[in-house]
Amino acid sequence: MNPIWAIVAIILGVTLYKQFDFQTLQFEKPALAVVYLLTFIASVYFLIKGRKQSTK
């Protein structure tokens, strides 16, 4: 299940990076960026949580 979260995190990270305007320091669509960011954080959390459980 870890590869799924890794793929989700990579896709969302790239999407957030592409939508961010570095000249104005704003997102093109702020509401959608919040949804992407929350999902990105959750996927990284589950990825780390799964890795800790597999090492025990």
pLDDT of 36 above 70: yes
pLDDT at 43 over 80: yes
- What is the CA angle 15-42-32, rounded to 5? 40
The residue range of the domain holding 42 is 2-55
Say how many domains are in the chain.
1
pLDDT recorded at residue 56: 61
Summary mean pLDDT of the chain: 89
pTM: 0.80
Question: Minimal CA–CA distance to 9: which of 56, 46, 34?
Answer: 46
More confidently predicted of 51 and 37: 37
- Of the pLDDT bands very low, low, confident and very high (cuts 50, 70, 90), residue 51 is confident
Give residue 1's pLDDT.
60
